[in-house]
Structure 1
Amino acid sequence: MGADREGGARRRPGRAVAYAACGAVLLAGCASMPDSGDLRNVESTPRQDTGVRVFAMPPAENASYSEIMQGFLEAMTSDDPRYDTARKYLTADAARTWRPERLTTVLADGPSIATDSPPSGRDQAESRTYVLAGNQVATVDAQQAYAPADGSYRTKVHLTKDPKSGQWRIDAPPEGIVMGKSDFQRNYTSVDKYYFATHTRVGANGEPVAVADPVFVRSKVDPMTQMVRSLLSGPTSRLEPVVRSSFPTGTALQKDTTGLTPDDQNRLTVPLNDKASRVGLARCTEMATQLLFTLRNLTPTLESVELQGPGGHRLCELTEERAEAGAWHASAQSPQYLYFLDGKHRLVRLPTGSTGTSGAPVPGVFGEGVKDLRSVAVSRDEYTVAGVSADGRGLYVTSMAVGAALGNPVVTSQGVNAQHDRLTNPSWDARGDLWVADRDPRHQRLYVLEQGGDKPVEVALPDLPGRIEDVRVAADGVRVALVVAKKDGKHSLLIGRIERDDESDDGPAVVDPRPAAPDMELVTAMSWAGDSRLVVVGREQGGVHQMRYVQVDGSTLEGPAPAALSGVKAIAASEDERVPLVAYSEDGIVRLPTGAQWQKVDKDGTAPVYPG
């Protein structure tokens, strides 16, 4: 096992690999390191089953400086929980100050290794400097938050020879961990941890809205305990301004807690310190809800969580059913219908579980076809519908009820070009607020209409690299996805944070938009497809059009992409991943049931949407 390296040199064994099966750990064996020679490139680690753990070899006695360097790079990609073996390649002082958890730098092909200007004379016998270099693709910070990166990476690593022991060791290691992309994918997994939206509650009982905050944890190093610690430490800086945690400040696991795992009844006990010992039942229930939503990402069979204080004092217990009833999150909401416009300009719907192809007109004026529409959006409670007129000029909102009036447009665009300069597709969040952008190049605006009302409020926007082409607000109401057309013809997908100030008369603001599909130069369609992921149609530089899933943090999701489909003009997905993907393509409306191929639904249909 080794870090990714450039070149095609033969693979050099350098790890002991432990295979875990049926609760037993079997040592596969260990390999010796060469006792002479320079650094050699090592091929990237093959992807392995989740039951395989890889451990580093400690430095051999009288190992050469090149072997120390090579061994350290390999040790950084091992499953050693605290990198104790990697520290053995460092001097005592360096081992104390090196903080691998503060930063992980991910390179496209792993670090290439070159010798810096070699010292001469006595210095040559006692020190060496190597340069690690490569192309950055991402970083993971101390909060375990992923961020795409580009540009070159270059850092120096210094080795010295101890005058007493005669052993080579590293006294100036790189900052944090450095590894190649394939080693990162083997070592880390993305998991959503959950907090509550600060300004959003839904339903008659005012249920809190859960917000997914994706982080990366080491997949084979006690991931459940890692995720609990990460959750207790608070949200990442990207979400911190718009979410809250029910855990009191300073709440942590009790000292020396490791190996958290559900019992044979799929129940998990989480021992907390005294900071949480005085919370009331309602708050404790919210705390347990955050834990249950988070940990079910790792263990879908988890059924209940019990929180304990010092001395085993039981604080509260929560089952999955009670958690789902007491808090709202999008992926647990299954839409009743798929909606689209038929060939007669009517808004029609199909039950999501239906295998039929004939949509029934919705109740109300949009189902009667009295207004030609370009696009629609159905509120998440499926009672209200917003539609943009065929010329893109007006946004109309009406109830899906027999006899409901259409009324005047609630937003009107003055853009000249009907195809490119007027209103985008509308979008609803869980609060019942409606979002739409006016693409008029003379004054680009993003609007929100609270509860779908007739008073649009302009949303403050940061400096964007181009014109908004599409808008999709997340169900949680704290994030918005924007497709932005740049002057060079590229279309980028950005995810921005939505900030609100209840004490001010100012409207909400979109803050800190960041790329979610950085390697795509042209994004032509997108839809939310989970609590923290989207499905995107677009093209990479030099590539062909494709459809794939992306995370809000810009990371690439593992697993298969949707089956290929040509001529996609629009895409519709639900946060409930069990619901079929639907597209508007050159074949009309088509859907993709789980485990099947694309199926035709309506050859004359357009503008498919699920609620949202």
Structure 2
Amino acid sequence: MPVTGDVKAVDASQPGDSQVQVYAVAPRDGATPNEVVDGFLESMTSDDSDFRTTRQYLTKRASSDWKPGALTTVLASAPNRSDRPVHDSDRSTNEVTYTLTGEEVATVDGQNAYQPLAPTDYSQTLNLVRQKGPDGSEWRIDRVPDGLVLGQSDFKRLYRSVNKFYFATGRTEAQSTLVADPVYIRNRTDPATGMDTVTQAVRSLLRGPTDWLRPVVASRFPAGTGLRKGVTSLTPDDRNVLKVPLNKKVDGAGQRSCRMMASQVLFTLRDLTSARVEQVELQRSDGSALCVLGADQAEEYAPDGSSGGSDSQYFVDAKGHVERIPGSTRGSGEPQPVAGPFGSGSLRVSAVGVSRDEQSAAALSQNKDALYTASLATAGELGPPVVTSRADKAGDRLTAPSWDSRGDLWVADRDPDNPRLLRLADGTGKPEEVTVPILDGSRITALRLSSDGVRIALLLTLGDRTTLQIGRIERQGPQGKEQVSVVDLRHAAPQLADVTAMSWSGGSRLVVVGKEEGGVQQVRYVQADGSTPSSGVLPGVNQVRAIAAADDEQLPLMADTVGDGIVKLLPGDNWQTVLKEGSALVYPG
């Protein structure tokens, strides 16, 4: 303990170990209004059961009305209160008001869904009254906004990102695949429900998908399914088997449906527990087993690319031909020309996109005015271009193509006079324009489809600024004749003033290259909901032009750089040069 030196005020919201536990302290007898407000704000950052101690700062009526789970407001730092009440108190005053201010950067709603915000001014008031207490008069808060107000560091300490999983709609039973739906839940026991982290995740899963994802996914759990009454803790046994007691809604479910339900639980909990859950047993309301599913058996429903996905990489060599780096080499195998016209034909290409089954590819001409498709499995002649652009400048023509998990090919035309987002069904169909809600003057400068096929990442440029947006892909009508649109765009990296490259990296994560306002280029991870993982910033690398990540997060991250060529980054390692000559490296998709 220091005995000399200056005394400095310390913000209660300091970055720290997520395992640190904060205990709420009840208001002391005779607490001043300042102390009541400060105690209330600090108590919100604790693991106080049912916010019992936190409510002691409120009047009885305010305590019964306050709903801490309705909304969590995240500020850049801990909320500031006015130094003194808006209405200064004296002996004859029994009511005072304080103003809370800060910079609001995000919210978490009642569904646990995270919503990033462009930094905006936050201002709310707390009204205090003097009331009669057991030991005389005391100050208590009688008007308070619903929800919690937390600084960013306290939020990261108290909450963690969890992917719930639901099935993509519009597919046959044989094509069923899981889609990640990210939410934020409490790190340990939730004060409002008393549930541990695993139980909170399962409960959130049973409540259904978040509003943003709901139109394109569905749960196999019947509507109204919940945990059996009184269940507040789900703990895997010593064999890593998790038993999930459910209510009557599932009692009549068939084995196929039950196995799909169990797979949703298994994938939701996959990264949540220190020891992996190896088996899930869903139980009927009477405690009997409905079905049992092992982790290996759940792989048939795995999110696209998360299990058994391709680990090959493709790039454009110095001669403008497409080459492949074989899989299982961690990005260090000997490159080989691909079969077909892209590997040995006369066309020189500038960018390539490979279908997820690695049977087909699409490539841009060197001046980016034409998109061609060809087989990677057999030799053959190159056909006419499937899409062309009439823009005057190469930078205003076609983007690099991307394939979704249904086998459809996507590309954008950046022509200022005719900007379009196009989809080619099965990679061979007639280009169809896809509606997308972008602002007038904005244009798509890059795109990438998620492995689940229900989300698209877009780089949108307006003036001299480029932002990363995630859109939901909705399909209306029978399969093969559906009308496709991109809707409900949302910012995925609002903290970056300019984004130059991006790629999906797993079910709900992207890797992006960009700059903060006035900053230097950096490579970092972001979540699809716009939140930033605590370990999001990656080792620096110079002048990145493009980035490529696999659906399997254990495969190397690849970057196309100016000067160093193509480089790779393995987990826990530093960037290493793979190819001095070559560009536009991609994984399938």
Check whether TM > 0.5. yes
Matched, 1:405 2:381: yes
1:51-109 deviation per Cα after TM superposition (whole angstroms, max 9, x unaligned): x4222112223322222211111111111242122112111111111111011111111
Q: Which piece of structure 1 moves more, 75-84 or 249-258?
A: 75-84
Matched residue, 1:604? 581
Tell me: CA distance 1:506–1:210, structure 2 relative to 1, closer, same or farther (3 Å). Answer: closer
- Tell me, in whole angstroms, the C-alpha distance in 2 between the residues paired with 1:84 and 1:593: 47
Aligned to 2:461: 485
Shift of 1:403: 2.0
User: Given the two structures, how large is their TM-score scaled by the length of structure 2?
Assistant: 0.93
> Does the residue aligned with 1:289 lie in a helix, a strand or coil?
helix
Which residue in the other structure is 2:217 paired with?
243
Offset at residue 283 of structure 1 (A): 0.7
Task: Give 1:196-215 correspondences, 5 Å limit.
Answer: 196-200=167-171, 206-215=174-183
> Is there any run of 5+ residues in structure 2 with no aligned partner, and where?
1-6, 190-195
Aligned mate of 2:398, from 402, 423, 429: 423
**Structure-to-structure mapping, 1:220-369, within 5 angstroms:** 220-221=188-189, 222-299=196-273, 301-354=276-329, 356=332, 358-369=334-345
* Shift in Å, 1:485: 0.8
SS of the counterpart of 1:287?
A: helix
Deviations 1:510-551 (A, max 9, x none): 101111111211111110011001100111110001100011
Change (3 A) 1:473 1:200: farther
Determine the structure 1 residue equivalent to 2:69.
101
Aligned AA (1:44): S
SS in 2 for 1:199: coil
Aligned to 1:132: 100
Counterpart in 1 of 2:555? 579
Q: Which amino acid aligns with 1:45?
A: Q
CA deviation digits over 1:249-287, x for unaligned, max 9? 000011121121211111111111101111111111111
Which of 500, 512, 531 is 1:555 aligned to? Answer: 531
Query: Given that residues 311 and 555 in structure 2 are in contact (C-alpha distance below 8 angstroms), is that contact kept between their aligned partners in structure 1?
Result: no
In the alignment, what sits opposite 1:25? none
The answer as to whether partners of 1:468 and 1:482 remain within 8 angstroms in 2 is yes
Following the alignment from structure 1 to structure 2, what is the Cα–Cα distance between the partners of residues 64 and 48?
32
Correspondence 1:380 to 2:352 = no
Q: 2:166 is paired with a residue of what secondary structure?
A: strand
Aligned-residue offset at 1:46: 4.2
Counterpart-to-counterpart distance in 1, 2:243 and 2:175: 25
Task: Determine helix, strand or coil for the equivalent of 2:64.
Answer: helix
RMSD: 1.8
**TM-score, normalised on structure 1?**
0.90
Equivalent residue of 1:136, what SS?
strand
The alignment covers a number of residue pairs equal to 568
Q: Secondary structure at the match of 2:525?
A: strand
1:91 aligned to 2:54? Answer: no
Cα distance per residue 1:28-60 (max 9 Å; x no partner)? xxxxxxxxxxxxxx442341253x422211222
- Alpha-carbon separation, structure 2, partners of 1:328 and 1:81: 36
Contact 1:53–1:220 (Cα < 8 Å) also in 2: no
Structure 1 residue 402: deviation in Å?
A: 3.0
Match of 2:9? 10
- The answer for the alignment partner of 2:419 in structure 1 is 444
Q: Which residue among 456, 462, 471 is the counterpart of 2:431?
A: 456
1:176 maps to what in 2? 147
Q: Does 1:471 align with 2:470?
A: no
SS at match of 1:297: coil
**Letter of the aligned partner of 2:584 in structure 1?**
A
- DSSP 3-state at the match of 2:41: helix
154-163 or 504-513: bigger deviation: 504-513
Deviations 1:103-132 (A, max 9, x none): 1111111111113432566652x2221110
Q: 1:9–1:333: structure 2 CA closer, same or farther, 3 Å change rule?
A: farther
What does residue 36 of structure 1 align with?
A: none
- Answer whether contact 1:347 1:369 (CA < 8 A) is retained: no
Task: Return the match for 2:33 from 65, 73, 88.
Answer: 65
Please say which of residues 551-560 and 567-576 is displaced more in the overlay.
551-560
Alignment partner of 1:163 out of 109, 113, 132: 132
Q: In structure 2, give the amino acid aligned to 1:321.
A: D
Distance 2:333 2:248 in 1: 58
Distance in 2 of aligned mates of 1:333 and 1:558 = 28
Distance 1:601 1:424, change over 3 A: same
Any idea what SS the aligned residue of 1:608 has? strand
Identity of aligned residues (%): 48
The aligned residue for residue 154 of structure 1 is 123
Aligned to 2:166: 195
Residues 47/121 of structure 1: CA separation in 2 closer, same or farther (3 Å cut): closer
What letter is aligned with 2:17? Q
1:560–1:461 Cα change, 3 Å? closer
Task: Tell which deviates more after alignment, 537-546 or 503-512.
Answer: 503-512
Q: Distance in 2 between matches of 1:328 and 1:140?
A: 25
**Distance (whole Å) between structure 1 residues aligned to residue 380 and residue 170 of structure 2:** 31
Q: SS at 1:548's partner residue?
A: strand
The equivalent of 1:30 in structure 2 is none
Is 1:583–1:608's contact at 8 Å kept on the other side of the alignment?
yes
Letter in 2 for 1:226: Q
Equivalent residue, structure 2, for 1:5: none
Conserved? CA contact 1:63–1:168, under 8 Å: yes
Runs of 4+ in 1 over 6 A off after TM superposition: none
CA 1:581 to 1:89, structure 2 compared with 1: closer, same or farther past 3 Å?
Answer: same
**Inter-partner Cα distance in structure 2 for 1:235 and 1:543:** 36
Q: Which of 118, 136, 139 in structure 1 is aligned with 2:87?
A: 118
Report if aligned partners of 2:477, 2:483 keep a CA contact under 8 Å in 1.
no
Aligned residues of 1:345 and 1:369 also touching (Cα < 8 A): no
The letter of the residue matching 2:238 is: D
Give, as a single letter, the amino acid of the residue that structure 1 aligns with 2:298.
Answer: A
User: Which aligned pairs between 1:522-601 and structure 2 lie closer than 5 A?
Assistant: 522-559=498-535, 561-586=537-562, 587-601=564-578
Distance 1:430 1:161 in 2: 63
CA contact 1:490–1:521 (8 Å) conserved in 2: yes
SS in 1 for 2:299: helix
Further displaced range: 583-592 or 283-292: 583-592
> Are the counterparts in 2 of residues 207 and 328 from structure 1 also a CA contact under 8 Å?
no
Greater mean alpha carbon deviation, residues 460-469 or residues 380-389? 460-469
1:209 deviates by 1.6
On the 8 A contact 2:12/2:78 being kept in 1, the answer is no
Paired AA for residue 9 in structure 2:
R
More deviation, 555-564/524-533: 555-564
Separation in structure 1 between the aligned mates of residue 133 and residue 212 of structure 2, nearest angstrom: 49
Q: Describe the superposition over 1:424-479 as per-residue Cα deviations: whole angstroms up to 9, x where unpaired.
A: 01001111111100111111110111111131111011133611100111111111
1:81–1:223 distance in 2 versus 1, CA, 3 Å: farther
User: 8 Å contact 1:242–1:499 — kept in the other structure?
Assistant: yes
CA contact (8 A) 1:427 1:471 kept: yes
